[in-house]
Amino acid sequence: MAFHELINTRQSVRKYSSKPVEKDKLQRCLEAARMAPSASNSQPWHFIVVQEEPLRTEVAKATFSGAVKFNKFTMQAPVLVVMLLEKPRMLNRIAMILKKKEWKLIDIGIAAEHFCLQAAEEGLGTCMMGWYNEKELKKALNIPGDKTVGLVISLGYAEEGYTLRKKIRKPMEEIVTFY
């Protein structure tokens, strides 16, 4: 798939079929994320892949609660990937403080998008989520207290007949300034 076609194909999927994700496709998605660039090559990420029951359901339930139901689709996703933020090396931490920039957040965003673009190439759907109960995730996955959950990504095949939403984007002249 040409890159332009790939970026136009990739979109958040919120309805999944029960078809399992093939191991080789999952591995290629993880490899794409692993190869993502990062500030000073710090690679401040760790991926926890959850596909076995009942843990998958427990992790899915940590992405919604009470009145907040917008991530309930995770109950259908056959794979959930929890991205941890790893502590960057000392030089990066000092630079982030001095420059008041959170490069590690940019870095995991790039890695997550690499993962999602590879998934689209494989015919899989994804959705990146920043809404979750971190305390519940840490408990379910035995994540140490000093680690931070950065994102949760659902992965699977879109439900047959699932219609992607229209991609409404701001016009170019509204988001670009040339000098």
Nearest Cα neighbor of 151 from 62, 24, 90, 37 is 62
What tokens appear for 158 in the block? 């879109």
- pLDDT number for residue 1: 81
Domain ranges for the chain, please list them: 3-175
The structural architecture, per CATH, of the domain 3-175 is 3-Layer(aba) Sandwich (3.40)
Average pLDDT, the chain: 92
pLDDT in tens, 71-84: 999 999 999 999 99
